[in-house]
Amino acid sequence: MKIVVIGAGGVGGYFGGKLAKAGFDVTFLARGAHLEAMKVNGLTVKSLQGDFHVDQVQATDSISGIGQADLIILGVKAWQIKEIAKDLKPILHADTLVLPLQNGVLAIDELKEYIPGHNILGGLCRIISKIDAPGVINHFGVVPTIVFGETDKSRSERTQQVKTIFDKAGIESQLSDDIYADLWKKFTSICISGLLAVSRTTYGELRELKETRQLMVELLREIHQLSQKVGIDIQPDFPDKVVAFIDTLPYDSTASLTRDVLQGKPSEIEYQNGTVVRLGEIYGVDTPVNRFIYSSILPMEIKARKVKV
């Protein structure tokens, strides 16, 4: 199976690295100094579960030169999906599977604007990781896991084949019977990232202060209420489970959106709290905490995109 990993950052670099280390035919789409370092020195992954190195890495900055792929894993930022989707057709064949691992709940629909729906799986991942230096990925929190499934909730032979590949590569994975529910569950938890940025806290600092902990709880409840209006099957106690999960995260850890905002980089705010605000308006759900977070970060986001994009 020919696998293409688009985006070789904390997500694509880790999971693609595991697949390449296991001997699968993997090509990375990357850019800049990170790409050049992988070509020259290979890919190094520092991980809580054990460091490893891939000596020979297939990597390019041109989609057109990759050739047709059997499995395409999208590890780019959520706001890059539309741009990437336009360029995928040349590397698709009739049975190519496209697996998006983006934050948020919009990737599937955005991909469908440009490529056939039967080529698309729903997916998400759980990992705290980043590029430490060109050619070096650092996984420093959470057991890396991919959750994926058919968008029509069916179990299929092709998803089982993908799971077998992940198993052989030592990647923890789960087949989902309701990928939209799983996407919304992750979406709910990651929207705390914006609160971390506004309050300039780590997960540990956020959860231990009564005032910021209360904001976190209210944020989660707003999104759960919205999910029910949208028609997503999530249990009433899910916000409490998210809080319990946040209580287990490393004290000094943050989220990728948080780091992007604080470093003046373009972020996924439109695909996190911004999406909550817009869907809240559509479905008639008040989202005051999420609106405050989105509105507070928006000026920084506009400035970052004028400078960086």
Residue range 54-98, pLDDT digits in tens: 999 999 999 988 999 999 999 999 999 999 999 999 999 999 999
Predicted confidence (pLDDT) per residue in 183-216, tens digit: 999 999 999 999 999 999 999 999 999 999 999 9
Q: What is the pLDDT of residue 65?
A: 85
Mean pLDDT of 139-151: 94
Considering only CA atoms, which of 98, 145, 89 is closest in space to residue 121?
98
pLDDT for 141: 83
Taking all residues of the chain, what is their mean pLDDT, rounded to a whole number? Answer: 95
Report H helices in 113-248.
157-168, 179-190, 192-199, 203-208, 210-230, 238-246
Position 308 pLDDT exceeds 80: no
Amino acid at 185: K
pLDDT of residue 61: 94
Strand bridging mode 25-29 / 2-6: parallel
Q: What is the pLDDT of residue 309?
A: 41
pLDDT on residue 267: 95
Q: Delineate the domains of the chain, giving CATH numbers in brackets.
A: 2-177 (3.40.50.720), 183-308 (1.10.1040.10)
pLDDT tens digits for 5-55?
999 999 999 999 999 999 999 999 999 999 999 999 999 999 999 999 999
What pLDDT shows up at residue 128? Answer: 87
- pLDDT tens digits for range 216-240: 999 999 999 999 999 999 999 999 9
At 280-294, the pLDDT tens digits run 999 999 999 999 999
pLDDT per residue as tens digits for the range 161-176: 999 999 999 999 999 9
Of 51 and 307, the one with more pLDDT: 51
Helix axes 288-308, 192-199, angle to 10 degrees: 70
- Residues 257-278: what's their mean pLDDT? 96
pTM metric for this prediction: 0.91
Q: Are 3 and 73 in contact (CB under 8 A)?
A: yes
Contacts for 48 with CB less than 8 Å, ≥ 6 apart:
139, 140, 141
